[in-house]
Amino acid sequence: MNTAISSIRNLGPAYEEACRRAGITSAEDLRAIGADAAYARLLQTGTRPHFIGYYVLVMALQGRPWNDCKGKEKEELRQRFDAIKADARPQHSTKLLAELDAIGVRAAPADLKLL
């Protein structure tokens, strides 16, 4: 079954499009991957990190209103978000850097020693 991601409470067409770019094409896939791994994939494919976007995803996958959690739970979510953000690096940046290296735009590591 391929249920639209936008069928999940609090996740609309824009979130669905971001998920599609990250290779997550259905609500079932999103639930199976889980909020943390899905958000990391969103960041790796160019979504700008934003705590509320992460927070909304977590709440949506729990079937809760987007503004439902507070206090300690929200603080813990913020710590998880910060860790995901620190670990994620857009794949296109790595690919771009590799392409720049291949055409000689950036200095090779050996050349850097001379600087």
- pLDDT tens track for 4-25: 999 999 999 999 999 999 999 9
Q: What is the pLDDT of residues 47-84, one digit of tens each?
A: 999 999 999 999 999 999 988 989 999 999 999 999 99
On the CB side of 114, how many CA atoms lie within 13 Å of its CA? Answer: 5
pLDDT band, very low/low/confident/very high, at 94 (cuts 50, 70, 90): low
Give the predicted TM-score (pTM) of the model: 0.75
Q: List domains and CATH numbers for the chain.
A: 5-90 (1.10.150.20)
Comparing 106 with 84, the larger pLDDT belongs to: 84
What's the pLDDT at 69? 87
- CA-to-CA distance for 69 and 65, rounded, in angstroms? 9
Q: Specify whether the CB–CB gap between 39 and 84 falls below 8 A.
A: yes
Residue 108 has pLDDT above 60, yes or no: no
- CA-to-CA distance for 39 and 52, rounded, in angstroms? 12
- Tokens 């620190």 identify what position? 86
- Which pair of tokens denotes residue 66? 């987007």
Residue 115 has pLDDT above 50, yes or no: no
